[in-house]
Structure 1
Amino acid sequence: MPKKIIGLLVLAVMVAIVIIGAVQDNMAESEALDNMALGSNVDFLPTDEGLAKGEQAPDFQLTTLDGEAVRLSDYQGQKVMLNFWATWCPPCRAEMPHMQTYFEEQAKDENVIILAVNLTTEDRGLGKIEDFVEEFGLEFAIPMDEHGDVGSTYQAVSIPTSYMIDTQGRVQNKIVGPMDLAMMEQLVEDME
């Protein structure tokens, strides 16, 4: 009989841990959404950290989730929204629906390419990445930074981190934290 009680207690503790974890994830995602709505928790760092405004964005080549090679320099002449993210990141989850909406509604008209670089070395496996892309219906390119080199070069320490790169391949802004649709529209509009 005591073994059953101990077993039930262990089971109850495990269930409580799972519930607490789910609640914390939901709270973190809600907080990210609230911060996004308030415009806080987002830093514009055009000159102090990372690559300086006006500096040529370092070229890279990565393979997308779909197996296609993408090279940043191939998009010279177009504006590039370069985003670094991971599946476990609540602010990334909050930002992705806005990015997909921007892609669907405005990217073509504004001559904007979205490269959402998954920090694969920091993520939870290919299956989680594929599930994330499917969950949000993401249709833009998802390059995979399998060795962490590109994220390191672009100093994507906190995620999401995004760079706005102009048609000449120059950095115009670095954004640390989630963007919403209005921010994306304004940042693209402000690019030279």
Structure 2
Amino acid sequence: MMKRIIGAVIILALFGYTIYSVLDTSSTAKSDQHSTSEAPEGSAMTPPNAPKGLKVGEEAPDVQLETLEGEKVHLSDFRGQKVYLNFWATWCPPCREEMPEMQQFHEEYGEEVTIIAVNATATETGGRDKIAQYVKENGYTFKVLLDPNNDANSLFRAQALPTTYFIGTDGTIQQAPKVGPMNMSYMKEMKEKLK
């Protein structure tokens, strides 16, 4: 009799745990869908209490960045151009996924839109040489700039990689930032929306 009672308790406990796990997973998935509405599922990770990015209509902060050759440049140097300001790193799989499409877009529409890929350099283990080698090996010819102290990343509140801001010729953010990888059709769509 005692064995039956213990067996029944164990079965009930396992059944209860299974139901709890299913319900907990379901509610977590729903809350995750709401918190990453701009990014496809699994494409970027953002801390739960991360500050939101800059808003449409705000002027883009004039950050100082470095070229792969070590020259200093400012974001304001590109005023008067439509700019896709993309935050990325070599260790980031979604970043590596979107870069070939960014290159294709650059080759087709580089006269209309300037792509600036800002590397989160402080998070890289191999430094400038590793980044330069990665860019060269993959044949990327759009602008790649370094953010050695992640100042630009902080100013733009790019909590997940990749994150892309769409800056108009007036230097303001004209479209909501894209968190997660872009594809060619999305980049074309944004090109038409920028002024």
TM-score by length of 2: 0.71
Aligned amino acid, residue 147 of structure 1? N
Matches within 5 A, 1:1-192: 40-41=40-41, 49-108=52-111, 110=112, 112-125=113-126, 126-172=128-174, 173-192=176-195
What is the rounded CA distance, in whole Å, between the counterparts of 1:40 and 1:120 in structure 2?
25
Preserved contact between residue 168 and residue 194 of structure 2 (Cα < 8 Å) = yes
SS at match of 1:84: strand
CA deviation string 1:86-137 (max 9, x = no partner): 00100000010011111111121x2x11110000011122332122102221
What is the rounded CA distance, in whole Å, between the counterparts of 1:101 and 1:130 in structure 2?
19
What is the rounded CA distance, in whole Å, between the counterparts of 2:107 and 2:71 in structure 1?
21
Structure 1 stretches lacking a partner, 5+ long: 1-38
CA deviation string 1:140-186 (max 9, x = no partner): 22111001111011111110011000010010221100001111110
Preserved contact between residue 162 and residue 179 of structure 2 (Cα < 8 Å) = yes
Aligned amino acid, residue 117 of structure 1? V
Shift of 1:66: 2.5
Answer with 1 or 2: which has the greater Rg: 2
Preserved contact between residue 87 and residue 124 of structure 1 (Cα < 8 Å) = no
What is the rounded CA distance, in whole Å, between the counterparts of 1:70 and 1:182 in structure 2?
30
Preserved contact between residue 81 and residue 165 of structure 1 (Cα < 8 Å) = yes
Shift of 1:81: 0.6
Aligned amino acid, residue 123 of structure 1? E
SS at match of 1:116: strand
Structure 2 stretches lacking a partner, 5+ long: 1-38, 45-50
Aligned amino acid, residue 61 of structure 1? Q
TM-score by length of 1: 0.72
Shift of 1:49: 2.3
| Runs of 4+, deviation exceeding 3 Å | none
When the two structures are aligned, how many residues end up with a matched partner? 148
Shift of 1:63: 1.1
